[in-house]
Chain A
Amino acid sequence: MKKRVLAIALVTAMVGSMLAGCSGKSSGGEAGTDAPAASDGAKVVKIGVYEPASGDNGAGGKQEVLGMQYANHETPTVEIGGEEYTVQLEIVDNESSNDKGPSAASTLVSAGVSIALGSYGSGVSIAASDVFKEAGIPAMGVTCTNPQVTEGNTHYFRICFLDPFQGTVLANFANENFSAKKAYILTKLGDDYSTGLGYYFKEAFTGLGGEVVEETFQEGNSDFTSYVTSAKNAGADVFFAPVSTEAAALIIEQAAAQGLTIPMMAGDTWDSNVILNAAKGKDVEIYVTTFYQEGGNEEFDNGIKEWINSDSTAKANNGGDDTIAAVTAMGYDAYYVALEALKAAGSTDPAKVNEALWDVSYTGVTGKIEFDDVNGDALRDTAYVKCANTESGAWDFVAEQGVN
């Protein structure tokens, strides 16, 4: 009996310590945004941040949030209808999961946000779309590139380019630069982003007279040996894998182990220091399309690097160094677009913000942002192509590529 009591006590202590740790963390995170509101008593407007902080896309989600946090740090207030409001970021974790996303979105709804930003990952954005729609809250995708996110609705906007565009850009690039005739496409089953981009790449590539070999893998798979072998055996000229960074790191590892010499290509997800770290010192060739190239805006680059280096949590969330991911720049712009919409609406009422969003025009560090009249997609016509430098562990700028 005594032992049983001890066992129960031990388990309770373990669970208790975890809970204590978690609550400590979240209150620490909010302290920065709470403080100004309390000190000057200004009105508060809430911007929801619907992003993954764990799961497959945790690394990318955290980097995207960093951009918003930096923007919030830089401009913590906004003037709405002649009154000064303090902007408070309400950050939730959708765990990169389509099942858990909607409940995270509901948290934002009950927190009373005026607009929601996110998410990294198209699948979770689609999953939460209805929650925002029912609550009448406008949402703005930052880097979710699948067309279905905004298709057929009037509340979901986005500031990045779309997969049909991105897939075509990549196919053109493979065709022009590597004279590729055969492409190996590896996508993840049940991932809207991955299968979508894979599909558009295939369409464009076969349209250019190329041939493709397609394979898929499942959630939870970490063994990519056979896929790399198949790509070699198929005699492919390029290896196209629009997958999460987590899977990408494993694929790169295997490609290096098996001496895969053909160029590996992917979309915007791979533009992350996770990829750079995985590729560093290995004999692999990696090309990605992306939204922003470091060095595009000196002032932003220096400012955010300084901020990241001064804050150890931010640095850890950025993967331990101060490389600027394109998603961070996009998150930064998304925050300012949201502020523009709030200003134009002249109110914190979500319905008014939604209406105002259609006409917002803002020039950010990633270029000019305007929305089309149909789905609320950003009008963008160029993507940057970058190549991983495996010696220095940085991205080298290759080209600005449009659609022919």
Chain B
Amino acid sequence: MDWLSRNLPYLMAGISVGGQYALIAIGYTMVYGILRLINFAHGDIFMVAGLIMVYAATVMPIYIAIPLMIVVTVILGFLVERVAYKPLRSAPRMSIMISAIGVSYLLQNMALYVTGGLSQQYPAIPWINDTVTVFGATTKRVTIITPVLTIILVLLLVTLIKRTKIGMAMRAASRDFETSQLMGIKINSVISFTFIIGTFLAAIGSLLFFTNYTGVTPTAGAMPGLKAFVAAVFGGIGSIPGAVIGAFIIGICENIIKGLGWTTFSDAFTFALLIVILIAKPTGLFGEKVTDKV
């Protein structure tokens, strides 16, 4: 029991941060699945979602601020695709990627301008911010909620992709972009929908992440974004279950390494693990050559 209460916090932190990475990683993996584009701006949209919440919560009650934050973030994700990626659809893939990097820096610098570069305190959201005790280990309630909520959202998403018409269109587009267009699928609305889902999950992820780690800075999205991207590659980019499992593995792994006292190497070890997995299985844990990529 003593051993459990000493070590449980590491595991809980790992699972919780893994869930948050998973929500971001899905955005990377879905966009890649359909457009073969690594959306570098995704981590920054995550950060902007945090900032929107900071500012929204100062002028309105929390229960209005949360839905508003989600809606504004989704609109932002939608607009980024329309303005920065859609006009480049027939351009070489590299151009879209550079455009994505451009959007990433644009968002970071806008955030720098708006916040003046200072860390903004994320508002405390009642209930999920409360302290709870699990088996003698004290933590915030959000730590417990995150993995549960992540799994529920992923199950809903998988159902959406497997059972609905738009889901079928997404699967078709990921299998063969050109042919699905010939078959009458409105490719632009499918892509927009993909971005909407991706940013929606990133918005939820930012809510959970910043409730636990309360400082929002213009570069706050960089590290979680990078880790989530690694998770997506780790699980086999293009595969949703892969991204989720990859994210949990990375989250748990880095916290256990910290728990063992090798704090200096926690990131190095995580990335070394990635290299080992990719050498053994170049397409990632769940990536196969011929699968539906969404």
Contacts and interface: CB of A to CB of B under 8 A. Distances in A.
Q: Which among A15, A223, A316 has the greatest number of chain B C-beta atoms within 10 A?
A: A223
Given A54-B116, A216-B263, A227-B258, A259 B9 contact: no
Nearest to B216: A222
Nearest to B263: A215
B264 A226 contact: no
A246 B117 contact: no
Interface residues of B, number: 44
Contacts of A3: 86-87
A7 B87 contact: yes
A246 B215 contact: yes
A58 B117 contact: yes
Given A225-B255, A226-B10, A227-B258, A246 B217 contact: yes
A220 B223 contact: yes
B110 interface: yes
A261 to B, nearest CB: 11
Q: What secondary structure prevails in chain A residues at the interface with B?
A: helix
Interface stretch (A80-88, A249-257, A329-337, A382-390): A249-257
A11 B117 contact: no
B13 interface: yes
B248 to A, nearest CB: 15
A225 B105 CA distance: 29
A246 B116 CA distance: 14
A215 B116 contact: no
B17 interface: yes
Contacts of A254: 213
Given A226-B13, A229-B13, A59 B261 contact: no
B214 A250 contact: yes
A10 interface: yes
Contacts of A374: none
B39 interface: no
Contacts of A257: 131, 138-140, 212
A279 to B, nearest CB: 12
A204 interface: no
B117 A55 contact: yes
30 contacts: A7-B84, A10-B83, A54-B118, A58-B118, A59-B118, A62-B116, A216-B264, A217-B263, A220-B223, A221-B223, A222-B220, A223-B17, A224-B213, A225-B9, A225-B139, A226-B9, A226-B10, A229-B6, A229-B10, A249-B119, A249-B121, A250-B215, A253-B213, A254-B213, A257-B131, A257-B138, A257-B212, A274-B119, A278-B121, A316-B116
The 5 closest A-B pairs by CB, nearest first: A54-B117, A225-B13, A226-B258, A229-B9, A220-B223
Given A53-B117, A62-B116, A227-B263, 11 more contacts: A15-B106, A95-B117, A189-B264, A220-B219, A226-B258, A226-B263, A229-B13, A229-B137, A230-B261, A233-B6, A249-B214
